[in-house]
Amino acid sequence: MSDLQLLTGGEAVAHAMRQIDPDVVPVYPITPQTPIIQTFAKFVADGKARTEIVNVESEHSAMSASIGAALAGARTMTATSSQGLALMAEVVYIAASMRAPIVMALGNRALSGPINIHCDHSDSMLIRDSGVIQLFAENAQEAYDLTLIAPRLAEHPDVLLPVLVCQDGFTITHSAEPVALLADEAVPAFVRDYFIPHPALDVSRPTTQGPFAMPDYYFEFRRQQAAAIEAATEAFEEVAAEFAFLTGRPYGVIEEYRLDDAARAIVALGSTAGTVKDVVDELRDAGEAVGLLKITSFRPFPAAAVTRALAGVKTVTVLDRADSPGGAPPLRAEVANALYGSGCELDGAVYGLGGRDLHPADIRAVFAGATSSHIGLRGEPCPV
Amino acid sequence: MSRLKTLVRNQNGVPPLRGGHSLCQGCGVPLVVRTVLGTIKSPVVVVNATGCLEVATTRYPTTAWNVPWLHVAFENAAAVASGVESAQRALRRRHALPADEEVAVVVFAGDGGTYDIGLQALSGALERGHRFLFVCYDNEAYMNTGVQRSGATPFGASTTTSPAGLESWGKAQQRKDMTAIAVAHHIPYVAQAAATHWHDLSVKVERAVAAPGPAFLNVLTDCPVGWGHEPRLFAKVIDTAVDCLFWPLYEVVDGHYRLTSVPPETVPVKDWLALQTRFAHLLRPENAGVVDGIQMRVEEDWEALVDRCDELVAA
C-alpha cells in the first residue's frame, strides 16, 4: 500500500495536504515554507485537491482567515516560517483560545535580526506559550506522517487546538529523501470528516465566539485551555497508535534511542536527532554507553515521559537550537524541570543558530564531555 | 425597499442584536447594526472587530447577539470574514451546505479597525473579491480607548492625543477618504451613509448584499462622549454633518458615482462644529480662519464628488 518517492520535506507535506484535501488553505509566501504552498497550489490547480486557497496579503491575515474558516466549520490548514509566524503570533494565541483546530506546517527558520533564511527554532519558541501544539519532525517522512496525524489530534474532542508540524528549514524542507506515502484512498478514512461542536455557519444554533472576558472569567478560560493541551499527550498516543496500525510506523511524544543503560544522553529536537543517532550508533559500536532522547511533542511537553526515559542516565546534555537571551534556553529549561530532584547531571549548549551546521564531530565532543555553552560559535566579534 | 415597519418587523421575535448591552445613551452604533441586520433577509454571520460594539455587547457570560458572531482581534476582521466566506464556498461546493441557502457575511468595525489598523486586511479582502459586506461605523476617533485621534478624525477636532491647547487647534491633519480608498479596489458596491438616514442606509444594504462581490459601507455615526454633545442630540448632530456637506450620502456601483440624497438646504459647517465640544476651541474669534479653511475644504470635496457623479439625486 505504500509507494516510495523521492521528495523534499516541503513536497512531502504538500502531498499530505493533497491527501487530506482540506476545505480552506489561506497562504502567504515565505522562505523556506514556500515550496509547501507552491506544490499544494499546483495540486489544486490540477484538480488533485478541491481546496479553497485564499491568497492573503500577510501571515497575520493567513492565521486570521484560518480562524474564520476553521470556526465556520471547514477543515483548515496553512503554513509559515520565521517572520511569518512572528507576524501571526498575536492571532496564534487567539486561535488557541478560540479552540480552532487549524493544522499549520512550519518550516523552522531563524527570526530576524539580522535577517536570515536558515534554520533554527527561534520561531517555534516565540510562540512557546501560545497554547498551540508543536510537533517536531526529524526528517521528510516524519514531516509527512505527523501532518497526517495532526488533523486528528487538532480535532480530538478533548483537545480542539491548533497543531504545528515543525520541520527544519532547508535541512528538511528542501532536502530530498525517499518518503513512503499512504495510498490516497487510505487518508480520508484515517483523518475522518471534520467535526467541531459549534460551527459558526450553523445559523440555526447561533453562538457568540470570542467574547470579552473580565477578571471574573478570564482565569477560568485560560485554565480550560491549558487542560486541553495537557490532554493532547494522551490524544497523540491514541491517534499515533491508529497510525502505526495503518502504516507500521510508530510515533510517540518522545523517541528513546539506545537509552537503555546509557550513562550519557543528548536531548534534541528536529533534524539534529538524525545526526545524533548516527553518532550514537558509532559510539555504541565502540562500546560507549550513550543514547539520544528526541522530543517529538515540544508542546505539550511530555515531562513525565522525559523523567522516565532519562531515569538512570548519569549525564544529560540538552542541545537547544534557540537561545533565550538573559535566561535558560527553552528546551534545557523544560528538561531541567522534568529532571529536578532526579540526581541526574544536566548541562546543555546552544547550537546551530541561523542555520550553522552541527557536525558529527561536535556531537562526539559532547559525548566525550566537552562543556562548551555555544557549539560552533567563533570567538571573535563580527567586523564593523 | 425597506420601510421602518418592515425593519421593525424583521427584528420582532428574535432581534439579531438585543437591548441590554452597555453601549452609551445617544450612541448611534446599535442603530447602524439594527438597520443593517434588519434589512438583510438571509441568515447572517457577523464578524466584529475589537471596539465599543464588541466590548459592550459580549461581556462574558452574557451576549446581546442572536446571530452567529465572531470576534478575533482588532485589525483582522476582514481577514476573518475572508475565512468564513471561503469556508462557506468550500462547503457548498462539497455539498456539505445547501447550495441555494446563502449566508451573508457581515463585518462591523469602527473607524480605527477600518481606516487605520484594519486597512491592510480590508484591502486584501477587497482585492481578493470575497463576497461579504464590510460596515465601518465611523465615529471619527478611537472612542473605546478614550477618544484618541484616528485617520478618520476630522481636521481641527480635539481628541486626547490631538488635544487643543495654547499652541494647538486640535488634529493638524486632514482625515483620509476611506470611501475613496474602497472605491479604488474596483469592487462592485461602495457607499457612504449616515446612522440617522436609516432609509438611505437600508436601501444601500440591500444593494450591497445583492452585489456579486465585496461591498463596503462607510456609515457616519456619533459618539456623545468623544464628540461632546448631549445624548438626546445624537440625530441632530449626525443630520447636520450631512446637511453641511461634510458627510455626503452617495454610492459607487461598479465605479459609477451617484448622490443618493442631497440636503434640501445646505447649512454652514460651523453649525455642525458648534454642536460638539471637540470643536469648541475653533469657535473662538482667533480661530475664525481655521473654520473658514474647513468650510472651504468641505465645499471643494463636495464639488469634486458632484463632478464624479453620473446622477445627482436618487433615481
How high is the pLDDT of residue B64? 98
pLDDT band at B313 (very low <50, low <70, confident <90, very high): low
How high is the pLDDT of residue A175? 98
Which tens digits make up the pLDDT trace of B244-261? 999 999 999 999 999 999
Chain A positions touching B72 (Cβ under 8 A) are 64, 67-68, 91, 94, 98, 210
Give the residue from A27, A56, A60, A61 with the most B CB atoms within 10 Å of its CB, the best one to mutate. Answer: A61
For B252, the grid coordinates are: 459607487
Closest approach of B54 to chain A, Cα-based (Å): 7
Which tens digits make up the pLDDT trace of A180-196? 999 999 999 999 999 99
The interface residues of chain B toward chain A in range 88-107, judged by CB-CB distance below 8 A, are 88-91, 93-94, 96-97, 103
Closest CA to B22 of B70, B54, B68: B54
Task: Over range A90-104, report the average pLDDT.
Answer: 98
pLDDT band at B1 (very low <50, low <70, confident <90, very high): low
Task: Over range A239-251, report the average pLDDT.
Answer: 98
| A230 residue type, one letter | E
- Predicted confidence (pLDDT) at residue A2 exceeds the cutoff of 60: no
Q: Contact, A180 vs A141, CB < 8 A?
A: yes
Chain A positions touching B54 (Cβ under 8 A) are 212
Which tens digits make up the pLDDT trace of B29-67? 999 999 999 999 999 999 999 999 999 999 999 999 999
Of B44, B70, B86, the CB nearest to A24: B86
Which tens digits make up the pLDDT trace of B85-139? 999 999 999 989 988 888 999 999 999 999 999 999 999 999 999 999 999 999 9
Phi, psi of A77, rounded to the nearest 5 degrees: -130, 155
Q: Is B55 on the interface with A (CB under 8 A)?
A: yes
* Residues contacting residue B109 through CB under 8 Å, at least 6 positions apart: B48, B49, B51, B77, B78, B118, B134, B135, B136, B137
Q: Which domains are present in chain A?
A: 3-247 (3.40.50.970), 254-375 (3.40.50.920)
Note the residue count of chain B: 315
* Residues contacting residue A59 through CB under 8 Å, at least 6 positions apart: A28, A30, A80, A83, A84, A85, A87, A88
How high is the pLDDT of residue B4? 72
For A155, the grid coordinates are: 480535532
CA angle B4, B113, B244 (to 5 degrees): 55
ipTM topping 0.95:
yes
How high is the pLDDT of residue B10? 64
* Residues contacting residue B100 through CB under 8 Å, at least 6 positions apart: none
Which tens digits make up the pLDDT trace of B153-195? 999 999 999 999 999 999 999 999 999 999 999 999 999 999 9
Peptide bond into A113 cis (omega under 30): yes
Q: Is B12 on the interface with A (CB under 8 A)?
A: no
pLDDT band at A1 (very low <50, low <70, confident <90, very high): very low
Give the residue from A51, A64, A104, A204 with the most B CB atoms within 10 Å of its CB, the best one to mutate. Answer: A64
Tally of structural domains, chain B? 1
Q: Are strands B44-48 and A176-181 parallel, antiparallel or unpaired?
A: unpaired
For A110, the grid coordinates are: 531563524
For chain A, give the mean pLDDT. Answer: 97
Separation between Cα atoms, residue B6 and residue B12, nearest integer Å: 10
Closest CA to A289 of A254, A315, A309: A315
Question: What CATH number is attached to the domain comprising B251?
Answer: 3.40.50.970
How high is the pLDDT of residue B311? 67
Chain A positions touching B55 (Cβ under 8 A) are 212
Task: Over range A191-216, report the average pLDDT.
Answer: 97
Nearest C-alpha in B relative to A78: B83
Of A52, A98, A212, the CB nearest to B89: A52
Which tens digits make up the pLDDT trace of A304-313? 999 999 999 9
How high is the pLDDT of residue B315? 44
Separation between Cα atoms, residue B243 and residue A148, nearest integer Å: 61
How high is the pLDDT of residue B99? 82
Write the DSSP string, A131-151.
S-EEEE-SSHHHHHHHHHHHH
How high is the pLDDT of residue B240? 98
Q: Tell me which residue has cell 476545505.
A: A23
Range of the domain at B207: 4-311
Q: Could B97 and A202 be called an inter-chain contact, meaning their C-beta atoms sit closer than 8 Å?
A: no
Which ranges of chain B would DSSP assign to H, the alpha helix? 4-11, 29-39, 52-57, 77-93, 119-128, 178-183, 198-210, 234-243, 269-273, 288-308
How high is the pLDDT of residue A3? 74
Closest CA to B31 of B234, B247, B167, B229: B234
- Predicted confidence (pLDDT) at residue A203 exceeds the cutoff of 70: yes
How high is the pLDDT of residue A216? 98
Write the DSSP string, B57-126.
H-BTT---B-S-EEE--SS-HHHHHHHHHHHHHHHHHTTSS-TT---EEEEEEESIIIIITTHHHHHHHH
